[in-house]
Structure 1
Amino acid sequence: MNYDSIQFKVEGGVAVLTLNRPDRLNSFTRAMHLEVRDALTRVQADQSVRVLVLTGAGRGFCAGQDLADRAVDPGAPSVDLGASVEEFYAPLVLTLKNLPMPVICAVNGVAAGAGANLALACDIVLAAKSASFIEAFSKLGLIPDTGGTWHLPRLIGPARAMGLAMLGEKLSAEKAEAWGLIWRCVPDDVLMDEALAMAKHFAAAPTKGLAFTKRAFQASYANTLEQQLQLEADMMRELGNSHDYREGVAAFLAKRSPQFKGE
Protein backbone atom coordinates (compact mmCIF):
# COMPACT_ATOMS: atom_id res chain seq x y z
CA MET A 1 0.00 0.00 0.00
CA ASN A 2 1.21 3.50 -0.84
CA TYR A 3 0.68 5.85 2.09
CA ASP A 4 -0.78 9.34 1.76
CA SER A 5 -1.93 9.95 5.35
CA ILE A 6 0.93 8.41 7.30
CA GLN A 7 4.68 7.90 7.12
CA PHE A 8 6.18 4.54 8.05
CA LYS A 9 9.72 3.25 8.29
CA VAL A 10 11.66 0.45 9.95
CA GLU A 11 15.32 0.78 10.87
CA GLY A 12 17.48 -1.08 13.37
CA GLY A 13 14.56 -2.95 14.88
CA VAL A 14 12.57 0.27 15.40
CA ALA A 15 9.34 0.94 13.51
CA VAL A 16 8.22 4.58 13.38
CA LEU A 17 4.64 5.34 12.37
CA THR A 18 3.89 9.04 11.89
CA LEU A 19 0.35 10.32 11.43
CA ASN A 20 0.77 12.69 8.52
CA ARG A 21 -2.18 15.00 7.93
CA PRO A 22 -0.68 18.07 9.59
CA ASP A 23 -3.10 20.48 7.91
CA ARG A 24 -5.92 18.68 9.77
CA LEU A 25 -3.98 18.08 13.00
CA ASN A 26 -3.59 14.45 11.90
CA SER A 27 -7.28 13.73 12.45
CA PHE A 28 -8.52 10.34 11.29
CA THR A 29 -10.33 9.62 8.07
CA ARG A 30 -11.35 6.21 6.80
CA ALA A 31 -8.38 6.24 4.42
CA MET A 32 -5.99 7.05 7.26
CA HIS A 33 -7.40 4.23 9.39
CA LEU A 34 -6.77 1.78 6.55
CA GLU A 35 -3.19 2.98 6.14
CA VAL A 36 -2.48 2.72 9.87
CA ARG A 37 -3.99 -0.77 9.88
CA ASP A 38 -1.76 -1.80 6.99
CA ALA A 39 1.37 -0.44 8.70
CA LEU A 40 0.55 -2.25 11.95
CA THR A 41 0.01 -5.47 9.99
CA ARG A 42 3.52 -5.01 8.59
CA VAL A 43 4.86 -4.49 12.11
CA GLN A 44 3.24 -7.72 13.25
CA ALA A 45 4.66 -9.65 10.30
CA ASP A 46 8.20 -8.27 10.46
CA GLN A 47 10.27 -10.36 12.87
CA SER A 48 13.01 -7.72 12.88
CA VAL A 49 10.78 -5.13 14.58
CA ARG A 50 11.33 -4.99 18.34
CA VAL A 51 9.60 -1.70 19.20
CA LEU A 52 7.05 0.70 17.68
CA VAL A 53 7.10 4.51 17.95
CA LEU A 54 3.87 6.36 17.19
CA THR A 55 3.91 10.13 16.66
CA GLY A 56 2.37 12.93 14.58
CA ALA A 57 3.61 15.37 11.95
CA GLY A 58 3.41 19.12 12.38
CA ARG A 59 2.06 20.97 15.41
CA GLY A 60 -0.38 18.34 16.62
CA PHE A 61 -0.32 14.66 17.50
CA CYS A 62 -3.91 13.81 16.60
CA ALA A 63 -7.19 15.71 16.85
CA GLY A 64 -9.23 12.50 16.80
CA GLN A 65 -11.86 11.93 14.16
CA ASP A 66 -11.96 14.29 11.18
CA LEU A 67 -15.59 15.39 11.46
CA ALA A 68 -15.57 16.50 7.83
CA ASP A 69 -15.01 12.88 6.84
CA ARG A 70 -18.40 11.93 8.22
CA ALA A 71 -20.16 15.30 8.28
CA VAL A 72 -23.82 15.23 9.22
CA ASP A 73 -26.31 18.10 9.05
CA PRO A 74 -28.94 18.41 11.79
CA GLY A 75 -31.68 17.40 9.37
CA ALA A 76 -29.75 14.63 7.61
CA PRO A 77 -29.89 10.90 8.44
CA SER A 78 -27.84 10.01 11.49
CA VAL A 79 -24.38 8.46 11.30
CA ASP A 80 -23.72 5.13 13.04
CA LEU A 81 -20.83 6.13 15.27
CA GLY A 82 -20.86 2.71 16.93
CA ALA A 83 -19.99 1.11 13.60
CA SER A 84 -17.01 3.45 13.28
CA VAL A 85 -15.79 2.44 16.73
CA GLU A 86 -16.28 -1.24 16.01
CA GLU A 87 -14.66 -1.14 12.58
CA PHE A 88 -11.70 1.12 13.28
CA TYR A 89 -11.04 2.55 16.74
CA ALA A 90 -11.58 -0.57 18.84
CA PRO A 91 -9.43 -2.81 16.60
CA LEU A 92 -6.71 -0.14 16.58
CA VAL A 93 -6.56 -0.04 20.38
CA LEU A 94 -6.56 -3.83 20.66
CA THR A 95 -3.81 -4.15 18.06
CA LEU A 96 -1.56 -1.75 19.97
CA LYS A 97 -2.27 -3.48 23.28
CA ASN A 98 -1.60 -6.93 21.81
CA LEU A 99 1.60 -6.13 19.92
CA PRO A 100 4.32 -8.37 21.42
CA MET A 101 6.68 -5.40 21.86
CA PRO A 102 6.77 -2.01 23.57
CA VAL A 103 4.77 0.78 21.93
CA ILE A 104 6.05 4.31 22.59
CA CYS A 105 3.87 7.30 21.84
CA ALA A 106 5.62 10.64 21.27
CA VAL A 107 2.91 13.27 21.65
CA ASN A 108 4.26 16.29 19.80
CA GLY A 109 1.26 18.60 20.19
CA VAL A 110 -2.44 18.55 20.94
CA ALA A 111 -3.98 15.11 21.46
CA ALA A 112 -7.76 15.51 21.42
CA GLY A 113 -10.69 13.14 21.48
CA ALA A 114 -9.77 9.78 20.00
CA GLY A 115 -6.25 11.15 19.54
CA ALA A 116 -5.81 11.53 23.30
CA ASN A 117 -7.07 8.03 23.95
CA LEU A 118 -4.98 6.57 21.15
CA ALA A 119 -1.92 7.90 22.97
CA LEU A 120 -3.11 6.37 26.26
CA ALA A 121 -3.47 2.98 24.57
CA CYS A 122 0.32 2.91 24.06
CA ASP A 123 2.66 1.42 26.64
CA ILE A 124 4.81 4.46 27.33
CA VAL A 125 3.80 8.04 26.53
CA LEU A 126 6.31 10.85 26.16
CA ALA A 127 4.92 14.33 25.54
CA ALA A 128 6.42 17.64 24.51
CA LYS A 129 5.92 20.40 27.05
CA SER A 130 3.72 22.26 24.58
CA ALA A 131 1.46 19.21 24.14
CA SER A 132 -1.95 18.86 25.72
CA PHE A 133 -4.67 16.27 26.17
CA ILE A 134 -8.36 17.07 25.65
CA GLU A 135 -11.26 14.66 26.13
CA ALA A 136 -13.38 16.68 23.73
CA PHE A 137 -16.25 14.20 23.41
CA SER A 138 -18.53 15.94 25.91
CA LYS A 139 -18.63 19.02 23.68
CA LEU A 140 -20.37 16.90 21.03
CA GLY A 141 -22.64 14.96 23.35
CA LEU A 142 -20.50 11.82 23.17
CA ILE A 143 -18.48 9.60 25.50
CA PRO A 144 -14.70 9.06 25.47
CA ASP A 145 -14.18 6.20 23.03
CA THR A 146 -10.98 4.56 21.73
CA GLY A 147 -10.59 2.98 25.16
CA GLY A 148 -10.89 6.26 27.04
CA THR A 149 -13.49 5.05 29.52
CA TRP A 150 -11.22 2.08 30.31
CA HIS A 151 -7.81 3.76 30.48
CA LEU A 152 -8.62 7.08 32.14
CA PRO A 153 -9.96 5.83 35.51
CA ARG A 154 -7.23 3.21 35.73
CA LEU A 155 -4.46 5.73 35.05
CA ILE A 156 -5.60 8.70 37.12
CA GLY A 157 -8.53 7.50 39.23
CA PRO A 158 -12.30 7.97 38.84
CA ALA A 159 -12.54 11.55 40.12
CA ARG A 160 -10.00 13.03 37.70
CA ALA A 161 -11.19 10.80 34.86
CA MET A 162 -14.77 11.97 35.35
CA GLY A 163 -13.72 15.62 35.44
CA LEU A 164 -11.70 15.34 32.23
CA ALA A 165 -14.48 13.45 30.46
CA MET A 166 -17.37 15.68 31.50
CA LEU A 167 -15.71 19.09 31.39
CA GLY A 168 -13.57 18.54 28.31
CA GLU A 169 -10.89 20.88 29.65
CA LYS A 170 -7.39 21.01 28.23
CA LEU A 171 -4.83 19.12 30.35
CA SER A 172 -1.24 20.28 29.90
CA ALA A 173 1.52 17.75 29.35
CA GLU A 174 3.17 18.84 32.61
CA LYS A 175 0.01 18.23 34.60
CA ALA A 176 -0.56 14.95 32.74
CA GLU A 177 2.85 13.80 33.99
CA ALA A 178 2.13 15.01 37.53
CA TRP A 179 -1.17 13.11 37.52
CA GLY A 180 0.44 9.91 36.25
CA LEU A 181 -1.44 9.97 32.96
CA ILE A 182 1.81 9.79 30.97
CA TRP A 183 5.36 8.63 31.62
CA ARG A 184 7.28 11.85 31.03
CA CYS A 185 7.04 15.42 29.75
CA VAL A 186 10.13 16.69 27.92
CA PRO A 187 11.22 19.89 26.13
CA ASP A 188 9.76 20.11 22.64
CA ASP A 189 13.12 20.10 20.87
CA VAL A 190 14.22 16.78 22.37
CA LEU A 191 10.95 14.83 22.15
CA MET A 192 11.89 12.62 19.21
CA ASP A 193 15.46 12.25 20.43
CA GLU A 194 14.11 10.94 23.74
CA ALA A 195 11.59 8.68 22.02
CA LEU A 196 14.13 7.20 19.61
CA ALA A 197 16.73 6.73 22.36
CA MET A 198 14.15 4.78 24.34
CA ALA A 199 13.19 2.83 21.24
CA LYS A 200 16.82 1.88 20.59
CA HIS A 201 17.09 0.72 24.20
CA PHE A 202 14.03 -1.51 23.75
CA ALA A 203 15.29 -2.78 20.37
CA ALA A 204 18.31 -4.22 22.16
CA ALA A 205 16.32 -5.47 25.16
CA PRO A 206 14.79 -8.92 25.89
CA THR A 207 11.61 -8.29 23.91
CA LYS A 208 9.76 -11.44 24.95
CA GLY A 209 10.01 -10.46 28.60
CA LEU A 210 8.68 -6.99 27.78
CA ALA A 211 5.78 -8.49 25.82
CA PHE A 212 4.92 -10.75 28.75
CA THR A 213 5.04 -7.74 31.07
CA LYS A 214 2.39 -6.05 28.89
CA ARG A 215 0.21 -9.15 29.01
CA ALA A 216 0.60 -9.56 32.75
CA PHE A 217 -0.42 -5.99 33.55
CA GLN A 218 -3.42 -6.20 31.24
CA ALA A 219 -4.55 -9.49 32.80
CA SER A 220 -4.25 -8.07 36.30
CA TYR A 221 -7.33 -5.88 35.85
CA ALA A 222 -9.56 -8.96 35.58
CA ASN A 223 -7.64 -11.49 37.70
CA THR A 224 -7.85 -12.21 41.40
CA LEU A 225 -4.56 -12.10 43.30
CA GLU A 226 -4.42 -15.89 43.23
CA GLN A 227 -4.98 -15.95 39.46
CA GLN A 228 -2.35 -13.28 38.92
CA LEU A 229 0.21 -15.13 41.03
CA GLN A 230 -0.40 -18.25 38.96
CA LEU A 231 -0.04 -16.25 35.75
CA GLU A 232 3.27 -14.89 37.03
CA ALA A 233 4.46 -18.42 37.76
CA ASP A 234 3.43 -19.64 34.30
CA MET A 235 5.14 -16.71 32.58
CA MET A 236 8.31 -17.04 34.63
CA ARG A 237 8.44 -20.73 33.78
CA GLU A 238 8.30 -19.98 30.06
CA LEU A 239 10.67 -17.01 30.21
CA GLY A 240 13.14 -19.03 32.28
CA ASN A 241 13.53 -21.32 29.28
CA SER A 242 14.18 -18.46 26.86
CA HIS A 243 17.45 -17.59 25.15
CA ASP A 244 17.38 -14.06 26.53
CA TYR A 245 17.17 -15.18 30.16
CA ARG A 246 20.15 -17.49 29.72
CA GLU A 247 22.05 -14.76 27.87
CA GLY A 248 21.20 -12.19 30.55
CA VAL A 249 22.49 -14.38 33.35
CA ALA A 250 25.62 -15.37 31.40
CA ALA A 251 26.39 -11.74 30.60
CA PHE A 252 25.87 -10.67 34.22
CA LEU A 253 28.22 -13.36 35.51
CA ALA A 254 30.81 -12.60 32.84
CA LYS A 255 30.49 -8.84 33.43
CA ARG A 256 29.78 -8.15 29.74
CA SER A 257 26.98 -6.55 27.78
CA PRO A 258 24.19 -9.00 26.89
CA GLN A 259 23.28 -9.72 23.29
CA PHE A 260 19.53 -10.27 23.40
CA LYS A 261 17.62 -11.73 20.47
CA GLY A 262 14.09 -11.05 21.67
CA GLU A 263 13.55 -14.81 22.05
Structure 2
Amino acid sequence: MIRSQLHEGMALLTIDRPDKANSLTAAMLRDLLAAVSDARMAGVRALVLTGTGRVFSAGADLDEARAGLATAPEWEALSGAVAAMPCLTIGALNGTLAGGAFGMALACDIRLAVPEARFFYPVMRLGFLPQPSDTGRLSRLVGPARARMILMAGARIEAPEAQAWGLVDRIHPAAELLPAAMALAADAVAAAPEHVAAIKAMTA
Protein backbone atom coordinates (compact mmCIF):
# COMPACT_ATOMS: atom_id res chain seq x y z
CA MET A 1 0.00 0.00 0.00
CA ILE A 2 2.96 2.33 0.68
CA ARG A 3 5.93 1.99 -1.64
CA SER A 4 9.25 3.42 -0.50
CA GLN A 5 12.26 3.80 -2.79
CA LEU A 6 15.62 5.15 -1.64
CA HIS A 7 18.14 5.96 -4.35
CA GLU A 8 21.22 8.17 -4.39
CA GLY A 9 20.14 10.63 -1.73
CA MET A 10 16.45 10.73 -2.62
CA ALA A 11 13.41 9.03 -1.11
CA LEU A 12 10.26 8.50 -3.18
CA LEU A 13 7.21 7.54 -1.12
CA THR A 14 4.12 6.46 -3.05
CA ILE A 15 0.59 5.89 -1.76
CA ASP A 16 -0.51 2.87 -3.78
CA ARG A 17 -4.18 2.14 -3.21
CA PRO A 18 -5.80 3.55 -6.34
CA ASP A 19 -8.85 1.27 -6.14
CA LYS A 20 -9.79 3.11 -2.91
CA ALA A 21 -8.79 6.61 -4.08
CA ASN A 22 -5.57 6.19 -2.06
CA SER A 23 -7.54 6.54 1.16
CA LEU A 24 -5.36 5.87 4.17
CA THR A 25 -5.76 3.26 6.88
CA ALA A 26 -4.09 3.42 10.26
CA ALA A 27 -1.58 0.82 9.10
CA MET A 28 -0.75 2.91 6.01
CA LEU A 29 -0.22 6.01 8.16
CA ARG A 30 2.17 4.04 10.35
CA ASP A 31 3.96 2.76 7.24
CA LEU A 32 4.31 6.30 5.90
CA LEU A 33 5.66 7.50 9.22
CA ALA A 34 8.16 4.64 9.30
CA ALA A 35 9.22 5.37 5.71
CA VAL A 36 9.81 9.05 6.53
CA SER A 37 11.85 7.99 9.57
CA ASP A 38 13.88 5.55 7.47
CA ALA A 39 14.54 8.28 4.90
CA ARG A 40 15.79 10.59 7.62
CA MET A 41 18.06 7.90 9.05
CA ALA A 42 19.42 7.28 5.54
CA GLY A 43 20.42 10.95 5.26
CA VAL A 44 18.43 11.71 2.12
CA ARG A 45 18.70 15.22 0.74
CA ALA A 46 15.26 15.16 -0.89
CA LEU A 47 11.97 13.40 -0.22
CA VAL A 48 9.10 13.20 -2.72
CA LEU A 49 5.56 12.19 -1.76
CA THR A 50 3.16 11.07 -4.48
CA GLY A 51 0.35 8.62 -5.25
CA THR A 52 -0.80 6.27 -7.97
CA GLY A 53 -3.86 6.77 -10.11
CA ARG A 54 -5.91 9.94 -10.41
CA VAL A 55 -6.20 10.84 -6.71
CA PHE A 56 -3.33 11.73 -4.40
CA SER A 57 -5.40 10.73 -1.39
CA ALA A 58 -9.04 10.96 -0.35
CA GLY A 59 -7.98 11.12 3.31
CA ALA A 60 -9.03 8.54 5.87
CA ASP A 61 -10.37 5.17 4.82
CA LEU A 62 -14.14 5.48 5.24
CA ASP A 63 -14.64 2.41 7.42
CA GLU A 64 -11.74 3.29 9.70
CA ALA A 65 -12.80 6.94 9.82
CA ARG A 66 -16.10 5.86 11.36
CA ALA A 67 -14.11 3.96 13.97
CA GLY A 68 -12.07 7.02 14.94
CA LEU A 69 -9.23 7.25 12.43
CA ALA A 70 -10.29 10.71 11.27
CA THR A 71 -9.07 12.21 14.54
CA ALA A 72 -6.24 9.78 15.31
CA PRO A 73 -2.85 11.15 16.39
CA GLU A 74 -1.07 9.40 13.50
CA TRP A 75 -2.02 12.24 11.12
CA GLU A 76 -0.32 14.86 13.26
CA ALA A 77 2.70 12.61 13.81
CA LEU A 78 3.10 12.11 10.06
CA SER A 79 2.83 15.78 9.11
CA GLY A 80 5.20 16.68 11.94
CA ALA A 81 7.75 14.13 10.73
CA VAL A 82 7.59 15.49 7.18
CA ALA A 83 7.90 19.08 8.39
CA ALA A 84 10.91 18.17 10.53
CA MET A 85 12.85 16.54 7.70
CA PRO A 86 16.20 18.37 7.31
CA CYS A 87 16.00 18.04 3.54
CA LEU A 88 13.95 19.32 0.61
CA THR A 89 10.44 17.82 0.68
CA ILE A 90 8.19 17.88 -2.38
CA GLY A 91 4.56 16.86 -2.67
CA ALA A 92 3.95 15.61 -6.21
CA LEU A 93 0.16 15.64 -6.10
CA ASN A 94 -1.00 13.34 -8.87
CA GLY A 95 -4.65 14.20 -8.27
CA THR A 96 -7.20 15.39 -5.75
CA LEU A 97 -6.15 15.99 -2.15
CA ALA A 98 -8.81 15.71 0.53
CA GLY A 99 -9.31 15.57 4.27
CA GLY A 100 -6.57 14.45 6.60
CA ALA A 101 -4.20 13.80 3.71
CA PHE A 102 -3.82 17.59 3.52
CA GLY A 103 -1.42 17.44 6.46
CA MET A 104 1.48 15.67 4.78
CA ALA A 105 1.18 17.88 1.69
CA LEU A 106 0.99 21.09 3.72
CA ALA A 107 4.12 19.98 5.59
CA CYS A 108 6.12 19.74 2.35
CA ASP A 109 8.42 22.55 1.25
CA ILE A 110 7.07 22.53 -2.32
CA ARG A 111 3.81 21.28 -3.79
CA LEU A 112 3.32 20.37 -7.45
CA ALA A 113 -0.03 19.27 -8.84
CA VAL A 114 -1.67 18.01 -11.99
CA PRO A 115 -4.22 20.32 -13.69
CA GLU A 116 -7.12 18.04 -12.71
CA ALA A 117 -6.38 18.13 -8.97
CA ARG A 118 -8.93 19.54 -6.57
CA PHE A 119 -8.42 20.44 -2.93
CA PHE A 120 -10.96 20.18 -0.13
CA TYR A 121 -11.00 19.49 3.61
CA PRO A 122 -14.64 18.80 4.63
CA VAL A 123 -14.22 18.88 8.42
CA MET A 124 -17.12 21.28 8.99
CA ARG A 125 -19.62 19.07 7.19
CA LEU A 126 -18.29 15.87 8.77
CA GLY A 127 -18.14 17.26 12.29
CA PHE A 128 -14.41 16.72 12.86
CA LEU A 129 -11.74 19.20 13.88
CA PRO A 130 -8.78 19.47 11.48
CA GLN A 131 -5.41 18.33 12.72
CA PRO A 132 -3.83 21.08 14.87
CA SER A 133 -0.83 21.81 12.65
CA ASP A 134 -2.86 21.76 9.43
CA THR A 135 -4.74 24.95 10.27
CA GLY A 136 -1.60 26.97 10.95
CA ARG A 137 0.24 25.71 7.89
CA LEU A 138 -2.77 26.30 5.66
CA SER A 139 -3.31 29.83 7.00
CA ARG A 140 0.34 30.72 6.50
CA LEU A 141 0.19 29.54 2.89
CA VAL A 142 -3.12 31.02 1.74
CA GLY A 143 -4.13 33.49 4.47
CA PRO A 144 -6.81 33.17 7.17
CA ALA A 145 -9.81 34.01 4.98
CA ARG A 146 -8.97 31.45 2.33
CA ALA A 147 -8.16 28.86 5.00
CA ARG A 148 -11.65 29.44 6.40
CA MET A 149 -13.12 29.08 2.93
CA ILE A 150 -11.61 25.60 2.76
CA LEU A 151 -12.13 24.51 6.37
CA MET A 152 -15.37 26.28 7.29
CA ALA A 153 -17.18 26.94 4.01
CA GLY A 154 -16.26 23.60 2.44
CA ALA A 155 -14.84 25.23 -0.70
CA ARG A 156 -13.43 22.89 -3.34
CA ILE A 157 -10.44 24.55 -4.95
CA GLU A 158 -9.36 23.76 -8.50
CA ALA A 159 -5.66 23.52 -9.30
CA PRO A 160 -5.31 26.94 -11.05
CA GLU A 161 -6.95 28.72 -8.12
CA ALA A 162 -4.85 26.70 -5.68
CA GLN A 163 -1.74 27.92 -7.48
CA ALA A 164 -2.94 31.52 -7.43
CA TRP A 165 -3.52 31.22 -3.68
CA GLY A 166 -0.08 29.74 -3.00
CA LEU A 167 -1.38 26.34 -1.97
CA VAL A 168 0.31 24.82 -5.03
CA ASP A 169 3.60 26.09 -6.44
CA ARG A 170 3.49 24.69 -9.97
CA ILE A 171 1.11 22.72 -12.19
CA HIS A 172 2.34 19.98 -14.52
CA PRO A 173 0.62 17.41 -16.76
CA ALA A 174 0.55 13.96 -15.17
CA ALA A 175 3.33 12.59 -17.37
CA GLU A 176 5.62 15.46 -16.34
CA LEU A 177 4.80 15.55 -12.61
CA LEU A 178 7.45 13.19 -11.24
CA PRO A 179 10.17 14.32 -13.66
CA ALA A 180 9.47 17.90 -12.56
CA ALA A 181 9.76 16.90 -8.91
CA MET A 182 13.02 15.07 -9.57
CA ALA A 183 14.40 18.08 -11.43
CA LEU A 184 13.59 20.37 -8.50
CA ALA A 185 15.30 17.94 -6.14
CA ALA A 186 18.46 17.53 -8.23
CA ASP A 187 20.55 20.32 -6.68
CA ALA A 188 19.72 19.22 -3.13
CA VAL A 189 20.49 15.58 -3.93
CA ALA A 190 23.89 16.61 -5.26
CA ALA A 191 24.74 18.62 -2.14
CA ALA A 192 26.02 17.62 1.27
CA PRO A 193 23.26 16.80 3.82
CA GLU A 194 24.43 19.49 6.24
CA HIS A 195 24.37 22.12 3.47
CA VAL A 196 20.79 21.18 2.56
CA ALA A 197 19.76 21.26 6.23
CA ALA A 198 21.39 24.65 6.78
CA ILE A 199 19.63 26.34 3.87
CA LYS A 200 16.31 24.81 4.86
CA ALA A 201 16.75 26.16 8.39
CA MET A 202 17.63 29.60 7.05
CA THR A 203 14.40 29.74 5.02
CA ALA A 204 12.10 28.51 7.82
**In terms of Rg, which structure is larger?**
1
* 1:167 corresponds to 2:162: no
Aligned to 1:62: 57
Aligned to 1:147: 133
Deviation at 1:132, TM superposition (A): 1.4
C-alpha separation in 1, matches of 2:114 and 2:22? 16
TM-score computed with the length of structure 2 as normaliser: 0.92
Deviation at 1:107, TM superposition (A): 0.3
Deviation at 1:24, TM superposition (A): 1.2
The C-alpha deviation readout for 1:30-50, integer Å capped at 9, x for no partner, is 110121122112112113x21
Instruction: Kindly provide the amino acid, as one letter, of the partner of residue 195 in structure 1.
Output: A
Q: What are the residue-to-residue correspondences of 1:20-35 with 2, within 5 Å?
A: 20-35=16-31
Q: 1:103 to 1:177 in 2, by over 3 A?
A: same
- Indicate which of 105, 108, 111 corresponds to 1:119: 105
3-state secondary structure, aligned to 1:99: coil
C-alpha separation in 1, matches of 2:41 and 2:103? 25
Aligned to 2:37: 41
RMSD: 1.8
Deviation at 1:81, TM superposition (A): 5.5
Structure with bigger RCO (C-alpha 8 Å, 6+ apart): 2
Deviation at 1:175, TM superposition (A): 0.9
Q: 8 Å contact 1:143–1:165 — kept in the other structure? A: no
C-alpha separation in 1, matches of 2:53 and 2:130? 25
Deviation at 1:187, TM superposition (A): 2.1
| Greater Cα offset, 34-43 or 202-211 | 202-211
**4+ residue runs over 6 A deviation:** none
3-state secondary structure, aligned to 2:108: coil
Instruction: Kindly provide the amino acid, as one letter, of the partner of residue 27 in structure 2.
Output: A
The C-alpha deviation readout for 1:206-257, integer Å capped at 9, x for no partner, is 5434323433444xxxxxxxxxxxxxxxxxxxxxxxxxxxxxxxxxxxxxxx
TM-score computed with the length of structure 1 as normaliser: 0.72
| Unaligned 5+ runs, structure 1 | 73-78, 219-263
* 1:197 corresponds to 2:192: no
